[in-house]
Amino acid sequence: MPNARRPLALAALASSLLLAGCDLGLPAGRTPHREGNRLDMGDQRKLKPQRKDLFLARPTGLMEPQPGSVAAGEALYPYAQNEADKAGAELVNPLQPTPAVLARGKFVYESFCIACHGAKGAGDGKVTALFPKPPSLMTQKVRDWPDGQLVHRPMRGQNSMPSHARQIDQNEAWAAVLWIREMQKGEPVAPPPAAPAAATASVPPAPQAAPPAGGKS
């Protein structure tokens, strides 16, 4: 008989412990199936991406770098947006057009430039159906630019093109320049962009003199 009663006693003990746990009023977890588990690692105070509710004094998770901070192995681009000529005169492409560099430049161009500038640099990318068409990269003017003049555009932006300095580093921009030079070798020279038509001012017609009263004109 004692052995027969042991399962019943264990069941009663488990039931009493379960009821006691319910009587404690443990708070429910933040996600389903965590009720009563206050030690769940998912609810511990720790940094989580895009989460700002742990330390209200400052955001946590994805944080902006401190002003002026530079990633290891990189340097700040030193030229302002209006210093394209200065960049062209002073900057020298640190990369050589090796197969690996050209492959990287092609990847960067097709990831960030092709949408506006097109597959062959003609300025016929798909978004030009909605946005202003950029000048062709195959004109003689662009071919005559030094590499520093050309790399300045993605680093600082120009006209409706924003800066890409947050998406690509300087080495990637230099590699894209070498890929553009490679495309220029195989594409014909494009004509310069047409000058906008000058608006002709409308001149109102001169008033005609009224005929004298009672006389013939």
Distance CA 129, CA 201 (A): 30
**Whether the predicted model's global pTM rises above the 0.75 cut:** no
The residue type at 147: D
* pLDDT top residue among 3 and 11: 11
* pLDDT top residue among 132 and 111: 111
In this structure, the chain runs to a length of: 217
Give a yes or no: residue 140 inside a domain: yes
Give a yes or no: residue 137 inside a domain: yes
Q: Which domain holds residue 150?
A: 113-192
Residue 88 and residue 152 in contact, taking contact as beta carbons nearer than 8 Å = yes
Reply yes or no on whether the pLDDT at 102 is more than 70.
yes
Residue 154 and residue 176 in contact, taking contact as beta carbons nearer than 8 Å = yes
The DSSP result for 157-184, as a single string, is -BTTBPP-TTTS-HHHHHHHHHHHHHHH
Give a yes or no: residue 106 inside a domain: no
Structure confidence by residue, pLDDT tens digits, 8-35: 666 776 666 555 544 444 454 455 555 5
Give a yes or no: residue 178 inside a domain: yes
Distance CA 196, CA 217 (A): 46
Terminal CA-to-CA distance of the chain, rounded, Å?
Answer: 141
Give a yes or no: residue 199 inside a domain: no
Structure confidence by residue, pLDDT tens digits, 193-213: 877 655 455 556 666 666 666
Give a yes or no: residue 22 inside a domain: no
Please report which helix (H) or strand (E) contains residue 7, including its range: helix 2-23
Query: What 8-state DSSP symbol labels residue 136?
Result: P
Mean pLDDT of 120-128: 93
Give a yes or no: residue 158 inside a domain: yes
Question: pLDDT band for position 79 (50/70/90)?
Answer: very high
Percent of the chain residues past pLDDT 70, beyond the cut? 61
β-bridge partners, 161: 158
Distance CA 146, CA 93 (A): 9
> What domain count does the chain have?
1
Distance CA 21, CA 113 (A): 62
The pLDDT score that the predictor gives to residue 197 is: 58
CA distances from 135 to 57, 119, 194, 200 (A): 48, 14, 10, 25
Structure confidence by residue, pLDDT tens digits, 184-195: 999 999 998 877
Residue 80 and residue 157 in contact, taking contact as beta carbons nearer than 8 Å = no
- Residue identified by tokens 């009023």 is 25
**HSE-CB for 104 with a 13 A CA cutoff:** 16
Give a yes or no: residue 136 inside a domain: yes
Please report which helix (H) or strand (E) contains residue 141, including its range: helix 140-144
Average pLDDT of every residue of the chain: 78
CA distances from 70 to 66, 95, 151, 169 (A): 9, 21, 19, 11
CATH of the domain at 155: 1.10.760
